[in-house]
Chains A and B, each alone.
Chain A
C-alpha cells in the first residue's frame, strides 16, 4: 500500500468482563479495498466492526479514521456505516425513508435527498419499491435496502456484519457477486465479516483470518489458501489432510526429505527447517489423485469409503502409515477409473510442490 490507510487499529484490546475479545489488535484498511475478517464465532471479528462503528469503545489502544483518532467520537459522528446481520431496517418507515434516514439526519435538502436516495435504490435495483414497507420485501430485497441505506451516505468505510448469512445458498452466491460489483462501482472500502471461507475466498481483496482476538494471517485469498501461515489458517481456509512427519534431510533450498511413518517423501517448503524437526504436511483433498498402481511419489493405503458428491467423488483412504486422508476427484471423460471399491489397495499422489509444509504446532 502506497497510499496512507483509511483506518487503522493500533494495538487495540477489548475485554467483555474477563473475556478478551481483541488482544493487541493491529490492522490497516486500504483505500477502496474489500477486506474480509474470517474466523470462527467468538474470534473477535464482529468486535472489530463494532469498535470501528463506535458501538463499543476499546479498553486500550487507538483507532484512527483518516488519520484522526476516533476516541470519544459517538457512532453518529463517524463517517462509517454498517449493514447489520439482521439488516435492522426500520419497520415503521418505507423503503425510501429507510434509505433517506442518514441523509435526513444530516439535514440535506429535499431535492438532494430524493436524488441520492433514488440513485441508491437504482444501484441496488430496487427502483419502484420505495413506497413499500421493509416487511413486505423478500430477504434478498431487504438485504439490498440495508446496503443502499448505508451506501447512500457515501461512508469512508462500509462495515458488513455476516450480512449474507440469512440468505439461502443460491441467493448468497448472487449477492456476493453483487457486493463485489458495488464495491468496484463505488470505490468505497468494505470490511466484510463472515465465517464462510468460500465466501471470503471468492469476494475479498484481502482476508484477515482471526482466532481468539488475534489475526493469524493477513493476505490475498490465494496466499491464505495456498500458503497458509499455520495449521489453523490451513484448516480454516479449506478442507485439509494434515500428516505429521519428521525432516530427515535438506538436499537443497526449499526442498526437504521427510519421513512419514517410514515412507520417505521429497517436499517443497517455503521456509527453513532443520534435520530432526517435526513438520505438518498439509494436502488439500482436491489436489490428490488415487491410483490402483504406484505412480511416482505416493502414499499407499486402502479404500475405506466412497461418497458420491455430484461434481466430485470423495474417497476416504486409510494410509498404511496410519492416518486417514480424503481425496476429492473431479469426474473426467478420459479418466473412467475413478471408482475404487472399498478394500481396494490404492496409491495417493499429488502434483509435486502443491503440498504445504508447516511447523508442527502444539495443537496437533
Chain B
C-alpha cells in the first residue's frame, strides 16, 4: 500500500552518502593522487608520476618549517593539556546547578571566530597594547617589551584559540567518570596520585587523545596565527600550504605536505579508537 518508506529511506541515506562521497572522500583521494604527480603550469598537476614531492619535504628549508611548526604545536598542545585537564576536572565536579553556565562559557569561545580571537590577543600583546600599558603603569618596565612576532606570541595565541577544543572532550570523558570508582580506589588503599594514575587517567584517555588531536592538528594549520602573531618569521605548516596552493601554485608539493597532516589525523584517530575501545571494554565488565 505504501512504497513511501522505501523512497524516504533512499532519499535520506542517498543524499548523505552522496554528499560525503563527493565532498569528503573524493577530495581527499584527489589530494593523495595529486601528491604523486608533477607540477604542470597549464593544469596545476600532471604526468609523470613521481615521489619527488615527498622527497622535497625533507629539504632543509621545509624540514625547518616542519620542525618549527611541530615544536610550536606540541608546546601549545601540552600547555592546553596542562591548563585544560585540571580545569575540565573542576568543571565536571562543580555543582550541577552551576555547570550549564560554566560550560556555556567554554562553548562560546569554541564557536567564536578564531581570527577575531587571534586579533584580540594581538591587541593585548602589541607594543602599545594592554599588557605593556599595564606593565608600564605598574612601573615594572621602563619601555614596552617586544611580545608580538615571537614564537611565544604564537604559542600564547594558539593556546588561547584552541584551549576550548581541549577542554570540551576532556570534560566529556571526565563527566562520565563515576566518582564512586574513586571512592572504591580510595577504599582499597590507593592514595591521590595512584587514584589518578590508575583510575582517572586510563578512563579519560579517549578524551585526552581527542583533545590533543583537536589542538595539535589545527595548531599546525592555522596560518593566520603565524601571520598575525608570528610575523613571517615563524611559519606554520598552514602557511606553507597556503603559499603552495594559492601563491606558488605548486599543487603536487602542497598536496604532499597536506598528506602529512592527513596521515597524522588518521594516526590520532586510530589511537583514539584504541583508547575508546579499552574504556568501553571496562564498562562492559562492570
Contact = CB atoms under 8 A, between A and B. Distances in A.
Whether chain A touches chain B in the assembled complex (some CB pair under 8 Å): yes
Interface of A: 73-74, 76-77
5 contacts: A73-B1, A74-B1, A74-B2, A76-B2, A77-B1
User: What bracket does the count of chain B residues touching chain A fall in?
Assistant: under 10
Interface of B: 1-2
B207 to A, nearest CB: 31
Nearest to B2: A74
A73 B2 CA distance: 10
Contacts of B2: 74, 76
- Which 4 pairs, one residue from A and one from B, show the smallest C-beta to C-beta distance? A77-B1, A74-B2, A74-B1, A73-B1
Nearest to A73: B1
B7 to A, nearest CB: 14
B232 to A, nearest CB: 56
Contacts of A74: 1-2
B2 to A, nearest CB: 6
A77 B2 CA distance: 10
B5 to A, nearest CB: 8
Nearest to A72: B1
A183 B188 CA distance: 57
A77 B5 CA distance: 14
A76 B4 CA distance: 13
A72 to B, nearest CB: 8
Contacts of B1: 73-74, 77
A74 B1 CA distance: 8
Nearest to A76: B2
A74 to B, nearest CB: 6
Contacts of A76: 2
A75 to B, nearest CB: 11
A76 B2 CA distance: 10
B175 to A, nearest CB: 24
Nearest to B5: A74
A74 B6 CA distance: 13
Nearest to A77: B1
Nearest to B1: A77
A76 B5 CA distance: 12
A358 to B, nearest CB: 42
Contacts of A73: 1
A360 to B, nearest CB: 41
Contacts of A77: 1
Nearest to B4: A74
A319 to B, nearest CB: 43
A74 B2 CA distance: 8
A173 B244 CA distance: 77
A74 B3 CA distance: 11
A73 to B, nearest CB: 8
A143 B2 CA distance: 31
A310 B141 CA distance: 87
A34 to B, nearest CB: 31
A68 to B, nearest CB: 14
B9 to A, nearest CB: 14
B8 to A, nearest CB: 13
A74 B4 CA distance: 12
A316 to B, nearest CB: 36
A73 B1 CA distance: 8
A174 to B, nearest CB: 36
B124 to A, nearest CB: 48
B101 to A, nearest CB: 25
A71 to B, nearest CB: 13
A83 to B, nearest CB: 24
B133 to A, nearest CB: 55
B264 to A, nearest CB: 40
